[in-house]
Structure formats: structure tokens, C-alpha cells
Amino acid sequence: MAVSLRARARYLAKRARSFRLGRVWGFATQISKEQGKHPVPVLIDMLYSAAFRDTAYLDYYEADFALLTRAERATFMTSLLQHHLAEALNDREAAKTFENKIAFNTAFAEFLHREWIDLSTAGVDGLRSFAERHPVIIAKVPVSREGKGVFRYDTAEVSEWTAFHADLVSKGQVLIEQPIVQHPYLAKYCAGTVNTTRITTYFDGETVRPLVIAQKFGRGAVSDQFTWGGFFTMLDENGRAVGPGHTGRHVSRYETHPDSGESIVDFQLPLWDEALAMLDEAARRIPAVPYVGWDVAIGPDGPVLLEGNWTPGLYETRVSATGIRHGTRPLHDRAFRDVGTR
């Protein structure tokens, strides 16, 4: 499916405004070092792909387009394609529920399976009472992305609760949550981080369709995102790893977790059917936002919903890490067709 002329024009105008030859040359030289290709042809191909193949420079680099044929590249999603789908399918007013974590927790409370409070309404006593039940707390900035604005506190160290409450509010960390206990199988990989699963779904009005499934692994930080040192592997329709893990941002290949030694290539998400059943229900909750990237954690007794992203986030394999030469774009065919009927 082609991106509309209006969307393409906006994209090209944005790329033109932000164009920096030095940055693009930096990608080209990095690809040259990693893949043994001359940087000038790579640069020309990157510019052509950005102008005519809906492929941003970072997409080109992260998906190893320099190693793929044109036909193989056509099977990969790109940022432009994904944003086009999200904007065409999702109602922007309804999507605000997904942009604010407090609004999201309120709307999807039954799927959270953890206690939380809003410091905008909970006073010092409410915070202290919460900490008595959960001595370690997770504090979040309600509007943030990529694991930014997420903090972990051990309240055993707090001596002045009024000052602690004021400090959290001043930093915007007003969403306080009970820490998630993950399934023992996932804890074997990294006990210090909740290793979450990004599952992108499309609700066509009748069926909830899982499209892209990526298993993220942490390295002991409060978040498993790349910005915190994490990496991911793609999962198949049965929740099983399709290859080694990688960061998507530089040369990396993880057949085993670098800290725990647990196998990435043999990973099988526990309680997979239960996770799909939960999302089948959650994805129908706000039908005006049918295209969502959900973050799911697997607890000892069942799946736990963390958040939903109305722009799902781009997860694709890298041939240099996995040997896999096809992407997830064909899985989006129904969503693309539905956009064409609007």
C-alpha cells in the first residue's frame, strides 16, 4: 500500500527541514565499517530510499537495508508507514488516553493487577500508606516514552515524607505504582528488570490481530528499553523466539543473555495464550484506537498490562544479527486495506 501524497509531502518536508548531511554521512560511514561497503553508494542509496521508499535514515540503518534486496526491503515496516497507519486508523482525541499513563491506568484498571496512586490527588499520608504496603515503589512521569521518566525508590531510606512527596511532585513523578513481580522463567533472564513483551495489535472491528511481537530483555536497570541498555528478539505467532537478540542500534548479537547466560534463541514466552486473551479483551476497550503497541509483563499467575502506545514503535529483525531477510509488513495488510477504504 502506498502512503498518501499528503502524508508523503509532510514527511519529505519534515526530512528536508531536518536534513543534515553530516548526520546522514555518519550513518553511511557506520554502515560501511559494520558491513564492509563503500560509504558513497550507501549514502546515495540512503538518500534515494528516504525520498522514494518511505525509509528514514535510522530505519535504513537499523533494518540493515544495505544488505537487503529491493524485494526484501519491501517486506519491512518503516517509521513513515507505521505513523501513516497510526494517524489514519487511530482517533487522536481517543488516543489521548494512551498518551497519559494515569488516564491509561484508569481506563484499563482491570488488566493492571497492581496497586497505584496519583500524587496529584494523594497527599503525604497516602504516599506513606502506599509505601508501607510496598516499600519499593515505581515512580513515573505520566507523559513519557522509551522508558524515560521511570524511577525506582526504596522508601526504607525515606525519613521525611513531606519532603519526599514534594520532591516527587516537583519532578513530575506523580504516578506511583506497585512493582511488578515477573514470572520465574523471565526472572532467570534478568531478575533486576521486568522483561516486557511489546505486542502490536490491530482490531478490525471484529477480530483482534497480533501483528508484531518483540520480547525485550533488561540488564538490571529500571527499564528494559534500549536507552537503559536493553535489547530484544522477535517472537513468532506462538510466542517463541525466531532468532538471536539485538539492540537494533549497533552491531550486536545475543544468542544468550550477556549477564545470566540464559538462551535467547530458545526463549518461549510463558502464559502466551493468556497474554493473547487479555489483549483480545483490552484491544476492544477503545475501538476508536484500533492500532496499538501494548507492553505486557508476565507475572507468576498471569499477564499484566503496563501501557499501550497508539504509535506502536518500530520493531524489526536485523539480518546481520539473525540471518532473517524478511520483515513484518505483510502482517499489516488488513490494516493497510482498511486505511484505503476510509
8 Å CB contact between 233 and 214: yes
How far is Cα 340 from Cα 342, in angstroms, rounded to an integer?
6
Give the pLDDT of residue 16: 63
Closest C-alpha among 288, 286, 281, 287 to residue 296: 281
Give the pLDDT of residue 10: 67
- 184-189 long-range contacts, CB within 8 A, separation 24+: 184/300, 185/270, 185/298, 186/270, 186/298, 188/260, 188/262, 189/217, 189/257, 189/260, 189/262, 189/267
How far is Cα 170 from Cα 223, in angstroms, rounded to an integer?
22
Q: What string of pLDDT tens digits covers the 342 residues of the chain?
A: 455 556 666 666 666 676 677 888 998 999 999 988 999 999 999 999 988 888 989 999 999 999 999 999 999 999 999 999 999 999 999 999 999 999 999 999 999 999 999 999 999 999 999 999 999 999 999 998 766 788 999 999 899 999 999 999 999 999 999 999 999 999 999 999 999 999 999 999 999 999 999 999 999 988 888 877 899 999 999 999 999 999 977 789 999 999 999 999 999 999 999 999 999 999 999 999 999 999 999 999 999 999 999 999 999 999 999 999 999 999 999 999 999 755
8 Å CB contact between 197 and 168: no
Residue 73, C-alpha cell as written in the block: 526491503
8 Å CB contact between 45 and 66: yes
Q: Which domains does the chain have, with CATH numbers?
A: 5-74 (no CATH), 115-177 (3.30.1490.20), 182-340 (3.30.470.20)
Residues in Cβ contact with 122 at an 8 Å cutoff, skipping those fewer than 6 apart = 130, 176
How far is Cα 304 from Cα 299, in angstroms, rounded to an integer?
6
Give the pLDDT of residue 200: 98
Closest C-alpha among 314, 327, 293, 266 to residue 56: 314
Residues in Cβ contact with 137 at an 8 Å cutoff, skipping those fewer than 6 apart = 130, 131, 152, 153, 155, 176, 177, 178, 179
Place of cell 487522536: 92
8 Å CB contact between 309 and 292: yes
pTM: 0.92
